[in-house]
Amino acid sequence: MEVNMKVNLSGVELDNPIIPASGTFGFGEEFKDLYDLNILGSISFKGTTREPRFGNPTPRIAECPSGLLNSVGLQNPGIDAVINEEIPKLSKYFHKPLIANISGFSIEDYAFACEKIDKVEQVGIIEVNISCPNVKHGGMSFGTSPESAAEVTKAVKEVTTKPVYIKLSPNVTDIAAIARACEAAGADGFSLINTLLGMRIDIKKRKPVLANVVGGLSGPAVFPVALRMVYQVYKAVSVPIIGMGGISSASDVIEMMMAGASAVQIGSANLVDPFICKKIIEELPIKMQELGISSLSELKPDF
């Protein structure tokens, strides 16, 4: 049986739904010598902010039984260096549309960086991370209220021409309400989920393992939560969803797409096995044939 792995995200066609998630693949530099990155559907590159950021103090990573906690703190060289240095380097070995992950600490930050990245030809989709603390309003994440999430969406849409996908935080009571507010404000799609807040304590030192005390939990432990939230958002909106959270196999990809995702991102698994995206792309057609799935784009929740 011939299988079709192509998927479409707001008019951007991908050869397959596999996208390395922002923050786990850098700008591809560390992976380009391992395999041809052009087998990937796209790449969501390192979260980018208006100004360069050194990130949080170390230690930033704590292992957990079924995943890891990270508190990297959006370390990146800033929007100008990403546009002038990182993307030109990446374009030498990756020739497909990119997903630009943008973060900010104020509405103005988001609008400034998104307007700049919108002009970069190779960027196909702008992915807006609203899990950042709003420094002007007491540090609460933009993604925790429908009103502030919609405000970011509206501001970004006013200064961009490319599809805008809002990356949703799972640290909320009603993720569907936030998605509906963003869709009403013009969001073209969604990426979810970002990491779940967690912490570890070193019982010998009697203090937190992470210098930042809390961090974001990712990996297999969060997969069922991610699946549930993708399904809830799928039922609430009518725009495409990129599903992520603990995906580490072709079966996980199909399960996530059956929950309503149009494509997926692979995050922590890249840190465990740098060949994981390549392996999943190779396994996917075999798994599709096993399950009698001729085209990934036809997978939808029918329950």
CB atoms within 10 A of CB 224: 12
Q: Provide the terminal-to-terminal Cα distance of the chain, rounded to the nearest Å.
A: 26
Q: How far apart, in whole angstroms, are the C-alpha atoms of residue 260 and residue 175? A: 15
Q: Compute the Cα dihedral for 94, 6, 161, 178 and give only its sign.
A: negative
Nearest to 115 by CA among 73, 86, 157: 157
Among 114, 132, 182, 277, the active-site one is 132
For the purposes of burial, counting CB atoms within 10 Å of the CB of 165, is it exposed (0-12), middle (13-18) or buried (19 or more)? buried
Bridge partner list, 296 = none
Structure tokens at 28: 């591809």
Structural contact between residues 102 and 113, judged by C-beta atoms closer than 8 angstroms: yes
* 132 among known catalytic residues: yes
Q: How far apart, in whole angstroms, are the C-alpha atoms of residue 17 and residue 14? A: 7
3-class DSSP state of 132: coil
Q: How far is CA 129 from CA 1, 110, 192, in A?
A: 39, 9, 10
Point out the residues that are catalytic.
132
